[in-house]
Structure formats: C-alpha cells, structure tokens
Structure 1
Amino acid sequence: MEPQASELDAFWEVARSHADLQGVPTYTGENAVGLLRPPAWSFGANPQQADRLLALVLDGTKTATASARADYDTFDEPLPEPGLLGIVLDGRAKPRALVVTTEVRVTPFAEVDEAHAAAEGEGERTLAHWRRVHERFFTEHAAGGFAPDMPVVLERFRRLYP
C-alpha cells in the first residue's frame, strides 16, 4: 500500500515545524534538510509488523534497525547515512513518525552485538532473541536469503516527531 502524497506533505509540514531540524547534521554546509520531504517507509514485511515496530519507535523503545545489505544492491538503493531523515509509516501506509539516522555500520550477521540487539527494542531485547527473529526474517524476506556471514546494515536513529 502506497501512502498518499497529500498525506505525506501534510505530515511533513507539521513534523518539520515541531522537529529540531537545526540539530540534524548535514555535510553540505547549509542545513537544508527541512526543505525537501524525506522518503517514507515502514518497518517489517507486513502491516502487522509495521504497526508493532512503529509502536516501539513511538514509545522510545526502538532506536535501531537492521536490514540485509543485499537488499540495497537488489533495489539499487544507497545505504543510509547519518543525517538522513525518514517518515515512518504504519501498517496502513499512514505517516506516523519522523526519524533521523544517527549511525550506520555494516557487519556480518554473526558479529551483531548485544547493544544493537537491545536498541532494536523487540521481545526480550537479547542477542539470542534478535538472532532468532532476524534469521527467520532474512530467510523469508532478504534478497539471497539468510547466511550467518551475510552483511547486515545496522542503523541507529533518533525520533524527532512526534
């Protein structure tokens, strides 16, 4: 389900007026991050996952995410980088949160650490739980499936709005 452009524009107007965009790092000199509407996306692979993970973002529990490096190559998308804004959608493709990426690193699945697993905020917040959940997710949804040595993009973010 694709979000309506008018809904995204309305959300962006409110979010950028409430978010501290001056505090978002930029690498181009002038801080122009508040001018263009950022991309919109949802967590997970289905509406239920999107809603569940969004709830963790909204309550401040989820401050990190992980994705298969191969997916970026498959869809010809650049890796996220610090300062990148994103509008997080719920399971009905409605804009619900504005986040900014604060850190990105790529590491083999088997080398993901306990701190990252806890920052993802899911379930037990342990590395063992993270590995079970993500192995299943990557097996079912990642380009090329799962492998213990597969590169994983680990992203930290900060919620700016609401």
Structure 2
Amino acid sequence: MSDTSENLPSFSFGDSPELADELLQLVLNGMKTATCGDLHSYEAEGETLPKPGDQFVILDGKGQEACIIEMITVTARQFDEIDEVWAVLEGEGDLSLEHWQQGHKEYFERNGVYAPDMKLVCEYFKVVQIFKLDNAPVKPN
C-alpha cells in the first residue's frame, strides 16, 4: 500500500476477478468514468453513500492497488431511467444503452437484486492516480 492510499477505502469493480480486471482496464484507458451500484445494498450493509470529493483505491482482480479515483457527482436513479449518455460514461461493450441494460440486468440478477425500478447509486468519477505494477504511484496523463 502506498502512503497516498493507505487511509482510503478500496474496492474492485464487478463480482469476479475477471470482471474486476476487465472494468479496471476500461478505467485506466479512460473509457470508464462512471459506475453504479444497488442503493438497497448500501442501505442493507450500513455503508455510507459516496459523495463528491471522496476518493477510493481501485483494486485489480488479485486485490492489488491499481489506481485512485475521486467522485465528481453521485446521484440516485432508477434502473429504467438510465439513458444512453450514462451507458457511454460506463464505457462497457459497444457503449449502447441496450448493452448496458443487458449487462447490468445480468449482474444485478446474479446478485439477487434486479428490478426494472430498482434504485441505483450512480457515480461519475475521475482517475487521480495510477499505480505502476510495483505500486509506485504515477499521475494519469
């Protein structure tokens, strides 16, 4: 852990090491600047919702630090209110709303929480620091 990241909360994207690595790569190459999670899960687990300015260490599929992101905006929206713009910000697949809907429906079904009107915590973020493979910090381009 670096000095910069030692006091920050951490997480990996997705629900498998493979998905964590795939989504992390999209973050690191600038394609993914947004993510979302199930609001009910935050509430059920007693987690505080992120807010603008909060920073998080993003882990790869092996649990190693890869980068630090900072929240820019955090809003709550229903699954069926997500639009094409948000799908592009999430940066996945062909960037279409249809791809976003299918992939996220499958993800939330795997996690037992899908409903068309489920509330999502929608987080738009920026990368503020990228770590080399040896975890030495570097600034993003």
TM-score past 0.5 threshold = yes
Q: Which of residues 111, 117, 122 is equivalent to 1:154?
A: 122
Cα separation, 1, equivalents of 2:12 and 2:44: 18
Cα separation, 2, equivalents of 1:113 and 1:81: 21
TM-score by length of 1: 0.77
Aligned-residue sequence identity (percent) comes to 37
> Equivalences for 1:68-147 in 2 at 5 Å?
68-142=38-112, 145-147=113-115
**What residue number does 1:23 align with?**
none
Which structure has the larger Rg?
1
Runs of 4+ in structure 1 over 4 Å off: none
Q: How far apart are 1:88 and its partner, in Å?
A: 0.2
Cα separation, 2, equivalents of 1:116 and 1:84: 20
Q: How far apart are 1:78 and its partner, in Å?
A: 1.1
Query: Which is richer in strand?
Result: 2
Q: How far apart are 1:74 and its partner, in Å?
A: 1.6
Query: Which is richer in helix?
Result: 1
Query: Unpaired runs of 5+ in structure 1?
Result: 1-7, 17-33
Say what the alpha-carbon RMSD is for the aligned residues.
1.3
Q: Which of residues 49, 60, 81 is equivalent to 2:19?
A: 49
